[in-house]
Amino acid sequence: MTVGGVKSARSRAPSRGSDGGRAADPGLGGRAGAGLRGARARAIYVSVLEAILSNRLSPMTRLPEDDLGSIYGASRTIVRSALEALAHDGVIVIEPNRGAFVASPGTAEAREVFDARLLIEPQLAARAAERVSFADIAALRRHLDAEEAAVHGERQQQAILLSGRFHVLMADAAGQVTLARFVRELVSRSSLIVALYWRRRDATCACSAHRALVEALAAGRPELAQQLMRDHLAETLDGLDLTDPRQGVSDLSAALTGG
Amino acid sequence: MTVGGVKSARSRAPSRGSDGGRAADPGLGGRAGAGLRGARARAIYVSVLEAILSNRLSPMTRLPEDDLGSIYGASRTIVRSALEALAHDGVIVIEPNRGAFVASPGTAEAREVFDARLLIEPQLAARAAERVSFADIAALRRHLDAEEAAVHGERQQQAILLSGRFHVLMADAAGQVTLARFVRELVSRSSLIVALYWRRRDATCACSAHRALVEALAAGRPELAQQLMRDHLAETLDGLDLTDPRQGVSDLSAALTGG
DNA sequence: CAAATCGAGATTGTATACAAATTGGCGCAG
DNA sequence: CTGCGCCAATTTGTATACAATCTCGATTTG
């Protein structure tokens, strides 16, 4: 192990402030998949993540590097990078020498995720009500329309995806980048939890709750927004059946190419 | 791009529950650097992280892959993986085609980090006071002793490291794995913030505050623990000077091998 | 003399080759 | 027929080679 001979530490400074001019965002909220360099790895990251978020990939589905590589036309190097980022987000699990699998959170983990959401999201909703711009409100309303359209149009997968993304948009509206990132991770994992433990027929009919939240924001009522978010999350949690184990595997190529 | 010909999706199931028997923890709290596979990448991750947490690596320091590779005797493949994990934690920043740098959070980001900590940590302290085991208390007390020893022994870097780790231990004691992970990230970034904006001479003399917290836990007083944590964080934030810019670069090989 | 340009060196991005580990089947013994 | 152990095939882990990009100094030009 050659330890000596490190001659660098030259004076090339980074572009200050840790966020000097990042590229536009490809569909997700702000700054998804931090730590990813190339655009190719990020594209795979986004694609697989959306497949998971919309329940096209079920928990415990295996994600072999070679398969993903041939699906996306990238080498394993890139796929690997994307998988590690997904693992860091908790949506997949990497078992050393065995491979990557879509995560399958247990009931304890499910409770934890919603505990965390109940702690963070109501607070963010309140702050959002204090600071939102008209542009944010407009974006949220547009999102609500798309969400309802997906629900009424029977586009189940799209509805699930948008329902989760609403919460990310709310978090972003609060202007707290750090907490918003936490919310993004929690929402992602919630998608898996819903896929495993949801028991009601009327999936994601929370559209009305979402709309009420946006109205509270538009009216500039922090306490109301906070309470509405708390209730909404509690009701979602109530719609889960956190008692018995779970199951489920789905096809890979079909799920990823069809979205 | 060859899309077809994906023949797998065979039935190799992952070891359920997403945490089936992980290895012992190398110094940090539970589950540091999720998404890292090999032990070598994790070793580099831990080493660089500790160098940053103890302020042996200053913000904006460049971290060239080749140098890290020769320091640790690993190939760039491994180093790259570790760097991406560190970037995901927000302690380093990767600029495409330019390389990795120790992060240099601005004042806005600093406020955000402490906002998030004020939201999460008091709550976790309260839960910890409800659920701690005697073993947890004992571990915390042992940690306090080490912390005070480092402070009185003038081991400045060690003191900084342990001071941050105390908060991680507290979060772990609450038994909320997810929120504890968030706290770990926030504490890491706080180390950088303290390195940049600390203005007082009596660095990390918060030992007394830490001891008071442990006593509140031992006494099983959730509200007290919550309040103590809130005050402690507020005081720490008060010790920062969040007005002007910052600077600083340090040597690389010395910082990494000297710890 | 200042400023822009070009090129050599250095550093990161990506692919591929090879090594190590795991899986699952097959054969054999009890 | 069941259970154990071994072997082949598949998959992941790691190193290295090459290409693309950036940095920075030297040279040239207005």
| Digit-coded pLDDT (tens) for A39-87 | 899 999 999 999 999 999 999 999 999 999 999 999 999 999 999 999 9
Instruction: Tell me if A75 sits within 8 A of A81, measured CB to CB.
Output: no
Which residues in chain B are contacts of A12 at CB distance < 8 A? 62, 98-99
* Residues B155 and B221 both lie in one domain: yes
Which of residues A206 and B259 earns the better pLDDT score?
Answer: A206
- Structural tokens at position B135: 């073993």
* Residues B231 and B148 both lie in one domain: yes
CA distance A145 to chain B (A): 31
**CATH number (domain holding residue B234):** 1.20.120.530
Whole-number pLDDT of residue B250: 44
Q: Looking at the partner chain, which of B35, B104, B252 has a beta carbon nearest the beta carbon of A9?
A: B252
Q: Pick the last residue of a domain from A81, A104, A127.
A: A104
Residue A142 domain flag: yes
Residue B140 domain flag: yes
**Is there a contact between B34 and A88 if contact means CB atoms under 8 Å apart?**
yes
Q: How far apart are CA A114 and CA A109, in angstroms?
A: 9
* Residues B86 and B161 both lie in one domain: no
The SS3 call for residue A31 is coil
Instruction: Indicate if CB(A64) is under 7 A from strand C.
Output: no
The SS3 call for residue A101 is strand
Residue A90 domain flag: yes
Count of domains observed in chain B: 2
**Is there a contact between B35 and A109 if contact means CB atoms under 8 Å apart?**
no
Q: Which residues of B33-56 are buried (b: 16+ CB within 10 A; e: fewer)?
A: bbbbbeebbbbbbbbbbbbbbbbb
* Residues A150 and A132 both lie in one domain: yes
Q: Does A196 touch chain B (CB under 8 A)?
A: no
* Residues A90 and A196 both lie in one domain: no
* Residues A136 and A156 both lie in one domain: yes
* Residues A234 and A112 both lie in one domain: yes
* Residues A113 and A225 both lie in one domain: yes
CA distance A95 to chain B (A): 7
Angle between helices B76-88 and A76-88 (to 10 degrees): 30
| Digit-coded pLDDT (tens) for B201-246 | 665 567 899 999 999 999 999 999 999 999 999 999 999 999 865 4
Q: Looking at the partner chain, which of B17, B104, B178 has a beta carbon nearest the beta carbon of A113?
A: B178
By the 10 Å C-beta count (0-12 exposed, 13-18 middle, 19+ buried), B248 is classed as middle
**Is there a contact between A98 and B178 if contact means CB atoms under 8 Å apart?**
no
Whole-number pLDDT of residue B156: 83
* Sheet containing A99-102, strands listed edge to edge, beginning at the edge strand earlier in sequence: A62-63, A99-102, A92-95
Residue A33 domain flag: no
Q: What is the mean pLDDT of chain B?
A: 85
**Is there a contact between A4 and B177 if contact means CB atoms under 8 Å apart?**
no
Residue B27 domain flag: no
* Residues A83 and A137 both lie in one domain: no
**CATH number (domain holding residue B50):** 1.10.10.10
| Digit-coded pLDDT (tens) for A171-203 | 999 999 999 999 999 999 999 999 999 987 665
Q: Pick the last residue of a domain from A83, A104, A125.
A: A104
pLDDT band (50, 70, 90) for residue A17 = very low
- Judged against a pLDDT cut of 50, whether residue B19 lies above it is answered with no
Residue A21 domain flag: no
Whole-number pLDDT of residue A199: 87
Residue B142 domain flag: yes
Q: What is the DSSP pairing of strand B62-63 with strand B92-95?
A: unpaired
Which residues in chain B are contacts of A64 at CB distance < 8 A? 8
Element (H, E) at B246: none
* Residues A182 and A154 both lie in one domain: yes
**CB < 8 Å from A in window 32-61 of B:** 34-38, 60-61
**CB < 8 Å from A in window 202-241 of B:** none
Domain range enclosing A94: 39-104
Which residues in chain B are contacts of A60 at CB distance < 8 A? 13-14
* Residues B67 and B163 both lie in one domain: no
